Amino acid sequence: MKDYKLDTLCVQAGYKPKTGEARIPPIYQSTTYFYEKTQDMADLFDLKSDGFFYSRLANPTVAAFEGKVAALEGGACAIGCASGMSATTLAVFTVAGAGDNIVSSSAIYGGTYNLFAITLPKLGIECRFFNPDAPAEEIEKLIDGKTKMIFTETVANPSIIVLDFDKIAKIAKKHGVLFAVDNTLVTPVLCRPKEFGANLVVHSSTKYLDGHAAALGGVIVDLGNFNYKGNKRYPSFNEPDESYHGLVYADLPVAFGTKCRAQMIRDMGAIMSPQNAFLSYIGCDTLALRMERHSENAKKVAAYLSKHPKIEWINHPSLESNKYNKLAKKYLPKGQGGMLSFGIKGSTEKCAAFMEALKLITQETHVADVRSCVLHPASTTHRQLSEEDLKAAGVPHNLIRLSVGIENAEDIIADIEQALDKV
């Protein structure tokens, strides 16, 4: 599968039936699996052979989805999780414990921000935030001997800041720190973080991968390009794991992926359900086509809004005037995704009036599915944040987030126009 182009992988990767078997991955709605020989089961428990024995650890339908995403990201393996949040949580836990820290961009998804700023510190894991626009020297200062991960988003939700991969990759490489990227908003169709120095990718598959607002899910992709062996920053990869008869993860071909599944999925159990894996797998079939259309439509809507007298500012990396246009040209040449944000001139009440006047585009706490939708983050997803934190997250009070769907662009623009007329 490796040599095929991305749009082919979207359709074909992850599952290949044997003769007489179902053409698409069946939903293996079973918690457990049958084996004739005791030794076969024992080998599975010892990680000596591949196979399924209990659906909290692995399931054939989930494996099909994992295989597809791993192929798309060019990774060594992928792990399907119950949600995007559980994917990020388990990714952090695989490398960090009490007394450790991670270094993260402050421009990240609201749920991830809460996890890093509030929940992880309660467990003894500190998160040090940096402004993604800050110079490398400033970001570098946050790293010390206990730093286990640098975390970023390719295109940040909802601030739509494009990641400067080179800047972060250089820092990560210099210090031997794992470079993790949440690639949810662009997907591997528009950007493969591996090509720009990332070591780990997480996704909320709830968004574009599923693409139809049908299934919650997340996925962790071990890109297989980080060397844990002898790296003093990662003792838990270099010391024997007592819960696996002294297994040393750094000695394995897929160190992170194996540790994540064998320890974190086993102990915390946030695995993806077979039903959601099935829906997400099918969703990915059309991912390449959808991302192209989402990007095209968003570009047209952004161009329209940029000329509208009632709009104070508009943020989409496709616009020449956009602060991140140069980075988008470098890292997202095929398209910049369907997410854009803009500010309506005047008070925040105007945001509500505009959104309520929309007829085709709906108000939802969701992004990145086939249907266009809007949200006012300051009063919803980001309402727990203080004024100062909102600023740090790049979310001004009049920001409206618009996730542009794959409807006809003329209909989307006409709906926005009639709603703006009423404001």
Containing 222, the helix (H) or strand (E) segment is strand 218-222
Q: What is the C-alpha separation between 193 and 162, in angstroms, rounded?
A: 12
Nearer to ligand PLP by C-beta: 284 or 419?
A: 284
Q: What is the C-alpha separation between 149 and 95, in angstroms, rounded?
A: 8
Q: Which residue has the tokens 């925040």?
A: 348
To the nearest whole angstrom, how small is the minimum distance from the Cβ of residue 184 to ligand PLP?
4
Applying CB under 6 A, which of residues 6, 95, 168, 185 lies at the interface with ligand PLP?
A: 185
In the region spanning residues 194 to 213, those forming contacts with ligand PLP, defined by CB under 6 A, are 204, 206-207
Q: What is the C-alpha separation between 247 and 268, in angstroms, rounded?
A: 19
Asked whether the bond before 158 is cis by omega within 30 degrees of 0, the reply is yes
Nearer to ligand PLP by C-beta: 155 or 250?
A: 155
| 273 touches ligand PLP by CB under 6 A | no
Applying CB under 6 A, which of residues 67, 218, 274, 317 lies at the interface with ligand PLP?
A: 218
Q: What is the C-alpha separation between 44 and 3, in angstroms, rounded?
A: 31
Applying CB under 6 A, which of residues 66, 153, 164, 222 lies at the interface with ligand PLP?
A: 153
- Local structure of 130: helix, strand or coil: strand
| 184 touches ligand PLP by CB under 6 A | yes
Give, in degrees to the nearest 5, the angle at Cα 176 between 173 and 177: 95
Q: DSSP letter string over 173-203?
A: HHHT-EEEEE-TTTHHHH--GGGGT-SEEEE
Nearer to ligand PLP by C-beta: 162 or 419?
A: 162
To the nearest whole angstrom, how small is the minimum distance from the Cβ of residue 78 to ligand PLP?
15
Nearer to ligand PLP by C-beta: 115 or 143?
A: 115
Nearer to ligand PLP by C-beta: 58 or 216?
A: 216
Applying CB under 6 A, which of residues 66, 73, 100, 182 lies at the interface with ligand PLP?
A: 182
Count of positions on this chain that bind ligand PLP (CB under 6 A) = 16
**Backbone dihedral region for residue 4 (phi beyond 0: left; psi -120 to 50: alpha; all else: beta):** beta
In the region spanning residues 53 to 72, those forming contacts with ligand PLP, defined by CB under 6 A, are none
Nearer to ligand PLP by C-beta: 84 or 211?
A: 84
- Local structure of 33: helix, strand or coil: coil
Question: For 115, which DSSP code?
Answer: I
Please list, in sequence order, all residues whose beta carbon lies within 8 angstroms of the beta carbon of residue 141, skipping any fewer than 6 positions away.
Answer: none
Six-digit token string for 175: 């210090």
Six-digit token string for 9: 């992988």
Six-digit token string for 291: 């991302």
Please list, in sequence order, all residues whose beta carbon lies within 8 angstroms of the beta carbon of residue 149, skipping any fewer than 6 positions away.
Answer: 91, 92, 95, 96, 102, 103, 177, 178, 179, 180, 200
To the nearest whole angstrom, how small is the minimum distance from the Cβ of residue 84 to ligand PLP?
2
HSE-CB for 37 with a 13 A CA cutoff: 5
Q: Which segment (179-187, 243-251, 324-332, 350-358) binds ligand PLP by CB under 6 A?
A: 179-187
Q: Do 200 and 260 touch, CB atoms closer than 8 A?
A: no
| 84 touches ligand PLP by CB under 6 A | yes
Nearer to ligand PLP by C-beta: 207 or 376?
A: 207
Nearer to ligand PLP by C-beta: 55 or 183?
A: 183
To the nearest whole angstrom, how small is the minimum distance from the Cβ of residue 192 to ligand PLP?
17
To the nearest whole angstrom, how small is the minimum distance from the Cβ of residue 132 to ligand PLP?
14
Residue nearest to ligand PLP (CB): 84
To the nearest whole angstrom, how small is the minimum distance from the Cβ of residue 401 to ligand PLP?
10
**Backbone dihedral region for residue 235 (phi beyond 0: left; psi -120 to 50: alpha; all else: beta):** alpha
Nearer to ligand PLP by C-beta: 89 or 258?
A: 89
**Residues 106-145, mask of contacts with ligand PLP (x by CB under 6 A):** ---x-xx---------------------------------
| 369 touches ligand PLP by CB under 6 A | no
| 403 touches ligand PLP by CB under 6 A | no
In 136-276, the DSSP E strands lie at 147-153, 178-182, 200-204, 218-222
| 157 touches ligand PLP by CB under 6 A | yes
Containing 66, the helix (H) or strand (E) segment is helix 60-73
Nearer to ligand PLP by C-beta: 106 or 157?
A: 157
To the nearest whole angstrom, how small is the minimum distance from the Cβ of residue 183 to ligand PLP?
8
105 beta partners: 130
| 186 touches ligand PLP by CB under 6 A | no
Residues at the interface with ligand PLP (CB under 6 A): 83-85, 109, 111-112, 153, 157, 182, 184-185, 204, 206-207, 216, 218
